[in-house]
Chains A and B, each alone.
Chain A
Amino acid sequence: MRDLLVGLFVLVGLGAVAYLSFRVGGLSYGGPGGLVLYASFDQTGGLKERAPVVIAGVKVGQVSAITLDGNFRARATLDIDRSLRIPTDTTASVVTAGLLGDRYVSLQLGGEEAYLKPGDEITFTESAVILERLIGKLVHGSTDGTGDTKNDKSE
């Protein structure tokens, strides 16, 4: 009886640890991965590893690594559900959840008949929008280019 209770206690405790690790801690992306794609961005705006990759708002994978490539662009490795067929002209963009929320990668699928294979590069990418720069542009009264030089010209 006592052994049974101890066993139950250990099971419940391990269950709590597992819940915290996998559900709350997000130790691993729950769905299947396996389709590894690469995407280079000029600006990730603080995209983090294990950030979700979504298509139409549905999570289909996660960012497994972010490194700097030879041209000083950020190269993100995306681990995506391998049962999905991603067209070659798909666009990957870094977007923000809400106004100040976390960054994640959103894929807008293209219309090509050819599909990306594991290890392929997503060529069309959209960088993160940095809110501070947008505000800066608004303050300096221009919407393209860097605010300072434009202002100088107009004066």
Chain B
Amino acid sequence: MTGPVRELGWLSLRFVEELGRIGVFTARVTGAVVTPPPRIRPCVDELFKLGVLSLIIICVCGLAVGMVLGLQGYNTLVRFGAEESLGAVVGLSLVRELGPVLTALLATGRAGSATAAEIGTMVATEQLDGLRMMSVDPIHLVVTPKVLAMIGVMPLLSALFIVCGLAGGYVVGVGLMGVDGGNYLTSLENAVEFHDDIVGSGIKAVVFGVLIGLISTYRGYTCAPTSAGVSSATTSTVVVASVSILIVDYLITALWGV
């Protein structure tokens, strides 16, 4: 009779315990960021892996999303004879929502999973223990550069995604559907405001970068030192990061209206 209740209690306790661990981990990472010496070289390497290597997928996806937005937006707007507002539709949806969110989901799949697997393998092959033996803090050398690079890379990738999307919408709307190019750009520039839309978009991208960076490194850092542990750490990184990105996106939009 008390079995399911006991189970629920155990699950709740584990959930709270996990939250506490993530909090402690976050505090340690934050502490390591301000501890000298700054790890510039690992940071640049991570920027390369997370940023440069994600460039193509971000641009291709941005272009595709912009093109489909152009097509869908045109088909809807033309019913009201408002196809000259296509730029506003494509621009606002990309800047406010699709840019940061889809970039974050892509970066989770592309970079977050790789980060978790890399750190997880280091745990499994006792490389982090080796670092500790040499009294080097693995959080300082391995985790911090990855988190910092993720936070720095996200706004840039999101901005590139949006610009590619705008270009994709332009190609379809103006090239294919015959919307006037000047109308597209004018409605785009009139609809998108710097303070409301662009800043909000940047804030979302940075917050998602923090989420992806912390979740992927935490999952890798705490994974069981077996091959099954590494694989489950990678999976749970993608699942947890994607879900929390979408939930946090809703919260930011609802609370601050960006």
Distance to closest chain B CB from A103 (angstroms):
11
Q: Chain A residues with Cβ under 8 A from B95's Cβ?
A: 20, 24
A42 within 8 A of B: no
B189 within 8 A of A: yes
Question: Which of the residues B44, B91, B157, B166 comes within 8 Å of A2, measured between beta carbons?
Answer: B44
B147 within 8 A of A: no
Which residue on B lies nearest to A101, using beta carbons?
Answer: B190
**How does the 8 Å CB contact mask read for B73-93 relative to A, with 1 for contact and 0 for none?**
000000000000000000100
Please report which residues of chain B, range 82-138, place their CB below 8 angstroms from some CB of chain A when the two chains form the complex: 91, 95
Give how many A-B residue pairs fall within 8 Å (CB-CB). 74
Q: Chain B residues with Cβ under 8 A from A143's Cβ?
A: none
| B interface, size bucket | 20 to 34
Q: Chain B residues with Cβ under 8 A from A13's Cβ?
A: 51, 153, 155-157, 159-160
Question: Which of the residues B51, B162, B193, B198 comes within 8 Å of A9, measured between beta carbons?
Answer: B51
Which residue on B lies nearest to A1, using beta carbons?
Answer: B48
Q: Chain A residues with Cβ under 8 A from B159's Cβ?
A: 13, 16-17, 19-20
Give the complex CA separation of A50 and B193 in angstroms: 10
A25 within 8 A of B: yes
Distance to closest chain B CB from A145 (angstroms):
34
Question: Which of the residues A6, A16, A21 comes within 8 Å of B160, measured between beta carbons?
Answer: A16
Question: Provided the pairs A9-B51, A10-B156 are in contact, do residues A23 and B44 lie with their beta carbons within 8 angstroms?
Answer: no
Give the complex CA separation of A17 and B45 in angstroms: 22
Contact present for B48 and A2 (CB under 8 Å):
yes
Contact present for A2 and B45 (CB under 8 Å):
yes
Interface of A is mostly: helix
Give the complex CA separation of A2 and B43 in angstroms: 12
Contact present for A9 and B192 (CB under 8 Å):
no
Give the complex CA separation of A6 and B50 in angstroms: 10
Please report which residues of chain A, range 21-40, place their CB below 8 angstroms from some CB of chain B when the two chains form the complex: 21, 23-27
Contact present for A26 and B160 (CB under 8 Å):
no
Contact present for A6 and B198 (CB under 8 Å):
no
5 contacts between A and B (CB under 8 A): A5-B48, A9-B47, A10-B47, A12-B160, A17-B159
Given A13-B155, A21-B194, 11 additional A-B pairs, CB 8 A: A6-B48, A9-B47, A10-B47, A13-B157, A16-B156, A20-B198, A23-B189, A24-B95, A26-B190, A26-B192, A26-B194
